[in-house]
Structure 1
Amino acid sequence: MRKSPAVRRPLPTSPFKARPDAPPKRFALGDRVTHDKYGLGRVIGVEDGADAAVLVDFGSRQERITPPYAAMFTL
């Protein structure tokens, strides 16, 4: 006879438990940001819509960053 696999419940203090969805990041014109790949920059354009991209000037280059903005943070 085979045992059925036990259902594991996450502990309340577990760092591996499912996290609720974080609110989407919002950026405005002129915001100072940092990006893991490109470094420090300033937001120079914000698109509207469901897939709202952000245009950022990093000094030596301008990049269009699309969601999710996991690697970009405001300062």
Structure 2
Amino acid sequence: MTSRPAGSRRHLASSPFQPKPAQEVEVFEVDDRVSHDSFGLGRVSGVEAAAVTVDFGSHTVRVVSPYSKMTKL
């Protein structure tokens, strides 16, 4: 018997529960102003495929996608 990981279950049309909406990943560019829940206000200093580097003044942090705690201002 094979088991699937919980993340790969498919949604049945007859299910009374709604499927989880796809999480949108925000796109950042260099020099964008951002607000982070833990680090505060900062400016994007570098962009990679799945991460951004943000300068928060006193320190620089690499934030990995999906950026759930960071918003563009």
TM-score (norm: length of structure 2): 0.71
- Aligned CA-pair RMSD: 1.8
Q: Which position in structure 2 is the counterpart of 1:28?
A: 29
Structure 2 counterpart of 1:9, from 6, 16, 28: 16
Distance (Å, rounded) in 1 between the aligned partners of 2:55 and 2:44: 6
Q: Which position in structure 2 is the counterpart of 1:46?
A: 47
Distance (Å, rounded) in 1 between the aligned partners of 2:47 and 2:57: 18
Unaligned runs of 5+ in 2: 1-13
Structure with the larger helix share: 2
Runs (4+) off by over 3 Å: none
Percent of aligned pairs with the same residue?
47
Q: Which position in structure 2 is the counterpart of 1:3?
A: none
CA distances 1:26-53 after superposition (whole Å, capped 9, x unpaired):
10001000000000000000013xxx21
Unaligned runs of 5+ in 1: 1-6, 11-16
* Deviation of 1:18 (Å): 3.5
